[in-house]
Chain A
């Protein structure tokens, strides 16, 4: 059994290594080889039991939880993003391929779509120079134009047929339209030369490369105005005037992303505001849910109350309902024009719950109260029930009032057991991406910021939007720099909560 599994895995890995070597991806291949050898070594030798039990989980954890953190840190020091997503060679090729443009000032030539004797698509171009002399040339897609003898002209002097070539009927042209407009007819053998394209199947327009690459000097020259672009060292070609060519490529940029976060006011401002709101949101969420949950627990921790069980079930429902759906449902309830809250509770008022920068925060906290109070209710009920009954009894006998019992006995005992859970709850809300993103999308958008960020965004949803929002440029480098910041905040919080709880002692 073990041998069969191991064999299958090794076979798959060997196949992977072959593919990787075929792709000349030696680093990746080396890593896969090392993992394969390690796994075989662990399982084939005798002994080393712990490793045999730990290896499968550790491999996955090493890749998708530990390595990715290190990789985040690396990306934070690069300019990886939409405009910089590949290496330099790819970027140069992309620039040369996409950089073809219509050359201004070149004449437009009359063109006829024709078929040769074999029925193949060809293009007949009538080229007249300044002196009035006319040449008629023909070519198929991707070929160099060759001179032919014209046989027919129309009233405007355009050649419509030539020896061996006949005009294609309009209906056929319409059927192969795409092929026609994509065709390139070269003016000379030089692959960098100008070429003709026809946007409408009756005229030919001169196209040419927008950029000229000089591999020796490593510069790009823009053909139309002769501007020279040099490798800026930041993953782009840049002109003396500071203009960058797109796309760029991926390079390490050192602390640039962190520098931007600190010095660029269009980023620093939003970052600071988002950080403050993240803390406010997490702290207020914990406090409000805890107070409501505790109040209800005190109220319903009464075995004599009839129907207590049913109240409990109903109150646990928000917690049982899948969180992502709750966010969607509340989003609908809050809708400005159709939402139940505005239409029914506020009699048709158009309160912009999710689009006003202040109201959206209230709305989010109210939803999180709904989502979170059942958890607090459950854990405080549990903690209350675990307070010894004789303790409460002796307090009563000593004449403590209900308030004194709560403040002096129940609360302190409760907090001892619940405090670690409150910290966990804080940490969870600190990164409560789903609620924010699915409820308000982080909106309303902050138009003063240089990055895509909204007024209700928390740090993690801001990271997501910078890295993945469609429509705006993706900036993985900056997003990773921000996630490193979150790591430090979460790490600090965990460190202090670790010191205060006894989890560590349990391990010993």
Chain B
């Protein structure tokens, strides 16, 4: 049947071909109708998307009194200098604090989740299924719902051990670690399942202990994905406002999110340009990280749902 095209089909094919070649010779109007409007929408969206960002960058280089109406109307680096010379708003400290707190929390939570994911993926034990279900359930309830209790708990702890109470960065890291299992384990469990079990079995036969298998095989092979999850956790915690805001009290121990809020919560205008400089410096690493990780983020976002 399908060896040769019938006459009708041949005719249809030729007509289609002719139509296609007609389309190639398009007029401007035709181009606008076919492609141009897409570019038009594209440009509108580009402006909409990047305008607020351009506005901050422009503000960060503007003189304090002429930042509102026109972009890049003045150029000065004073804002960046002022940013680092305000003893009441120690920006440099906030930057270091954010790196320290989010970095420690990210590494810690990846490690804790990897341990748990290994157990769920490789070991068989009673309560394994219930445990996985609990993790999915816990994932649904963000920690911030319990923020009153977290605060009260840290007040109680701080009455006995001040270094772990309200105002302590260590306490904040511990709170973040508390959210670690819920956030990442299930994702990692999925990745660990894709590492062939035969590898550990071979290693076991060669006399490897379970710790050797965990550190030497699983962590090694999953390293790239662990790095991605860690960086995503870093982006997540460095953007946290509410927990950091209730726990960190002293200006010099705050993070960027909490510290920069001090600039905007007060009277707008006087310090906007300095805030803009701070925002640019705070955003650059995160945006760079994000764009670098974009393909992992997209696949991570859709991995569960879109299986192609």
Inter-chain contact A325/B282, CB cutoff 8 Å: yes
Inter-chain contact A23/B160, CB cutoff 8 Å: yes
Interchain CB contact (< 8 A) of B260 among A323, A328, A433: A328
Known: A315-B49, A331-B264, A338-B268. A343 touches B68 (CB 8 A): yes
Inter-chain contact A60/B264, CB cutoff 8 Å: no
Inter-chain contact B161/A16, CB cutoff 8 Å: yes
Residue B146 lies at the interface, judged by CB distance under 8 Å to chain A: yes
Prevailing SS type, chain B contact patch:
helix
Contacts of A296 in B (CB 8 A): 41, 45
* Chain A-chain B contacts (Cβ-Cβ < 8 Å), number: 284
Contacts of B143 in A (CB 8 A): 64-65, 68
Contacts of A344 in B (CB 8 A): 68-69
Among residues 264 to 297 in chain B, which have CB atoms less than 8 Å away from a CB atom of chain A?
264-265, 268-269, 272, 275, 279, 282-283, 286-287, 290-291, 294
Contacts of B88 in A (CB 8 A): none
Distance in Å from the Cβ of A373 to the closest Cβ of chain B? 9
Distance in Å from the Cβ of A301 to the closest Cβ of chain B? 11
Prevailing SS type, chain A contact patch:
helix
Known: A328-B279, A467-B151. A57 touches B257 (CB 8 A): no
Contacts of B185 in A (CB 8 A): 57
Among residues 419 to 458 in chain A, which have CB atoms less than 8 Å away from a CB atom of chain B?
420-421, 427, 431, 433-434, 437-438, 441
Q: Which of B48, B146, B210 has the most CB of A within 10 A?
A: B146
Inter-chain contact A66/B145, CB cutoff 8 Å: no
Distance in Å from the Cβ of B196 to the closest Cβ of chain A? 19
Contacts of B147 in A (CB 8 A): 463-464, 467, 483
Interchain CB contact (< 8 A) of B148 among A305, A332, A375, A476: A476
Inter-chain contact B261/A328, CB cutoff 8 Å: yes
Inter-chain contact A320/B290, CB cutoff 8 Å: yes
Classify chain B's interface size.
Answer: 35 or more
Contacts of A39 in B (CB 8 A): none
Q: How far is the CA of A305 from the CA of B182 in the complex (A)?
A: 41
Distance in Å from the Cβ of A485 to the closest Cβ of chain B? 10
Q: How far is the CA of A323 from the CA of B261 in the complex (A)?
A: 13
Inter-chain contact A50/B133, CB cutoff 8 Å: no
Nearest chain-B residue to A299 (Cβ)? B38
Known: A53-B116, A61-B138, A434-B242. A326 touches B52 (CB 8 A): yes
Interchain CB contact (< 8 A) of B180 among A57, A68, A463, A468: A57
Q: How far is the CA of A496 from the CA of B149 in the complex (A)?
A: 27
Distance in Å from the Cβ of A9 to the closest Cβ of chain B? 14
Residue B1 lies at the interface, judged by CB distance under 8 Å to chain A: no
Inter-chain contact A421/B136, CB cutoff 8 Å: no
- Count of chain A residues with Cβ under 8 Å from any Cβ of B? 99
Q: How far is the CA of A324 from the CA of B147 in the complex (A)?
A: 18
Inter-chain contact A54/B115, CB cutoff 8 Å: yes
Q: How far is the CA of A325 from the CA of B268 in the complex (A)?
A: 15
Inter-chain contact A65/B302, CB cutoff 8 Å: no
Which of the 9-residue segments A130-138, A174-182, A187-195, A306-314 touches chain B? A306-314
Contacts of B132 in A (CB 8 A): 507
Inter-chain contact B261/A431, CB cutoff 8 Å: no
Among residues 14 to 63 in chain B, which have CB atoms less than 8 Å away from a CB atom of chain A?
35, 38-39, 41-42, 45-46, 48-50, 52-53, 55-56, 59
Q: How far is the CA of A69 from the CA of B148 in the complex (A)?
A: 10
Among residues 66 to 101 in chain A, which have CB atoms less than 8 Å away from a CB atom of chain B?
66-69, 71-72, 74-75, 80
Residue-by-residue, is B128-155 near A (CB-CB < 8 Å gives 1, otherwise 0)? Answer: 1101110011101111111111111100
Which of the 9-residue segments A260-268, A355-363, A379-387 touches chain B? A379-387
Known: A307-B42, A316-B291. A483 touches B242 (CB 8 A): no
Distance in Å from the Cβ of A215 to the closest Cβ of chain B? 25
Among residues 163 to 197 in chain B, which have CB atoms less than 8 Å away from a CB atom of chain A?
174-175, 177-182, 185
Inter-chain contact B161/A480, CB cutoff 8 Å: no
Known: A61-B182, A69-B141, A386-B308. A343 touches B69 (CB 8 A): yes
Known: A65-B182, A296-B45, A386-B306. A72 touches B148 (CB 8 A): yes
Q: Which of B123, B257, B306 has the most CB of A within 10 A?
A: B306
Inter-chain contact A340/B68, CB cutoff 8 Å: yes
Q: How far is the CA of A66 from the CA of B143 in the complex (A)?
A: 9
Residue A213 lies at the interface, judged by CB distance under 8 Å to chain B: no
Residue A370 lies at the interface, judged by CB distance under 8 Å to chain B: yes
Residue-by-residue, is A271-310 near B (CB-CB < 8 Å gives 1, otherwise 0)? Answer: 0000000000000000000000000100110100111000
Q: CB within 8 Å of B: which residues of A? A: 16, 19-20, 23, 25, 28, 49-50, 53-54, 56-58, 60-61, 63-69, 71-72, 74-75, 80, 296, 299-300, 302, 305-307, 311, 313-326, 328-333, 335, 337-340, 343-344, 370, 374-375, 378-379, 382-383, 386, 417-418, 420-421, 427, 431, 433-434, 437-438, 441, 460, 463-464, 467-468, 476, 479-480, 483, 486-487, 490-491, 494, 503-504, 507-508
Q: List 9 A-B contacts (CB under 8 A).
A: A56-B112, A64-B150, A71-B146, A328-B279, A331-B268, A437-B241, A438-B241, A438-B261, A483-B145
Given A61-B179, A305-B39, A322-B257, 16 other A-B residues pairs in contact with their CB atoms under 8 A: A60-B180, A63-B153, A64-B175, A69-B149, A71-B152, A302-B38, A319-B290, A322-B282, A324-B257, A331-B264, A333-B52, A338-B272, A418-B305, A467-B147, A476-B148, A487-B141
Would you list the 10 A-B pairs with minimal beta carbon distance, nearest first?
A: A64-B178, A320-B290, A53-B119, A57-B112, A71-B149, A68-B146, A68-B149, A72-B149, A50-B125, A494-B140
